Amino acid sequence: MSGRRKALVVIPARLGSSRIPEKPLQEIDGRALILHVCDTVSRSSVIDTLVVATDSERIRRAVAEGGYEAVLTSTDHPTGTDRVAEAAERFHHDVIINVQGDEPFLPPSALDRIATALLDDPTLPMHTLAVPLVPADFEDPNVVKLVVDGAGNALYFSRSPIPHRWRRGKARPLMHVGIYGFQREALFHFVALERSPLEETEGLEQLRALEAGMTIRVGVHEEPFHGIETPEDLQAARGASSSTGKE
């Protein structure tokens, strides 16, 4: 009889960033961003193991000093998921979830939903997360939009406004959140695929999976939250933290 299936979260964190220099080490309320993400994941009731995968000794040290585990990975990975896969090779979990290192406001219940769906259904290769799209973000290319089919599977992801507002309809605009859950075999299949034309055009690695015919289930968390994508996002998070601290 096989044992209980287990879930691993890997948070990829590289030091280089084009929009926010050294983003994982930027502080919010006196604590590095990467540690805020670790704190969030650690509140999950489903995840068995958490590790940060990084190309930087500075990040590895900061994570260790914050009380979490980190592993050093290659500096040559083209995407965060490639970094996640290298780290996952050191573990033997059935489900691997890539939580991007700029999602400090991720509700643990939303993470639990993804992990539980994958743990309960080994035939489901991938699972990701979306929230209702705030109208002000509809035109923002830093905000990734997506559309789903009737079964809740992703049809397309884009930096462009989708679905196009040709006429009033029932399709609800959704914002993609930086979480990718995989069955172990699906993760290693994904990273073995060649980068796809749509992936390179949009700069979105999840399009590689869709072009290869992989199913990506989408869970919708009904309360919007926002990652740290831009310097403005970082300043807003700092401002929110300061306001909270004064109350």
Q: What is the pLDDT of residue 247?
A: 38
Provide the residue type at 99 as one letter: V
Q: What angle do CA 162, 154, 172 make, to 5 degrees?
A: 45
DSSP 205-218: THHHHHHTT--EEE
Domain map (residue ranges) of the chain: 7-238
Predicted confidence (pLDDT) per residue in 198-235, tens digit: 999 999 999 999 999 999 999 999 998 888 988 999 99
Q: Is the pTM of this model over 0.85?
A: yes
Nearest to 228 by CA among 18, 9, 13, 23: 23
Predicted confidence (pLDDT) per residue in 143-173, tens digit: 999 999 999 999 999 999 999 988 888 888 9
Distance CA 240, CA 196 (A): 39
Distance CA 176, CA 127 (A): 12
Distance CA 50, CA 93 (A): 11
As assigned by CATH, the class of the 7-238 domain is alpha beta
Q: Please say whether the beta carbons of 185 and 214 come within 8 A.
A: no
Structure tokens at 28: 């919010």
